[in-house]
């Protein structure tokens, strides 16, 4: 499956991008708020090498220019 988004080599990089999005939108508003993050990341665990990614949405343009990349999905 081809995904448009942001690809990260380490989970720490993906976590930092997720935090950047949350900070940009000022969330969470409190530690017990329902919404903790604006976006979340996924692990492309079937790809070699493994990587982490955030799917593009125009609300997160500030992360930079998104790219297209392939993510192998287990269809079973």
76: in domain? no
Q: What pTM does this model have? A: 0.90
Q: Please report whether residue 15 resides in a domain.
A: yes
Contact 10, 50 (CB under 8 A): no
- pLDDT on residue 2: 96
In a domain, 24, yes or no: yes
Report the number of distinct structural domains present in the chain. 1
- Does residue 50 form part of some domain? yes
Instruction: Give residue 19's Cα distance to chain centre.
Output: 10
Residue 48 lies in a domain: yes
CB count within 10 Å of CB 9 equals 11
Query: Mean pLDDT in the chain?
Result: 95
> Is 12 part of a structural domain of the chain?
yes
Residue 42 is assigned to a structural domain of this protein? yes
Q: Which domain holds residue 63?
A: 2-70
CA-to-CA distance for 43 and 32, rounded, in angstroms? 26
Q: What is the mean pLDDT of residues 35-41?
A: 95
In a domain, 38, yes or no: yes
């Amino acid at each position: 499956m081809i995904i448009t988004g942001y690809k990260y080599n380490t989970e720490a990089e993906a976590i930092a991008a997720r935090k950047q999005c949350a900070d940009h939108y000022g969330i969470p508003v409190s530690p017990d708020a329902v919404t903790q993050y604006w976006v979340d990341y996924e692990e492309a665990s079937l790809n070699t090498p493994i990587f982490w990614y955030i799917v593009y949405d125009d609300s997160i343009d500030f992360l930079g220019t998104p790219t297209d990349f392939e993510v192998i999905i287990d269809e079973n």
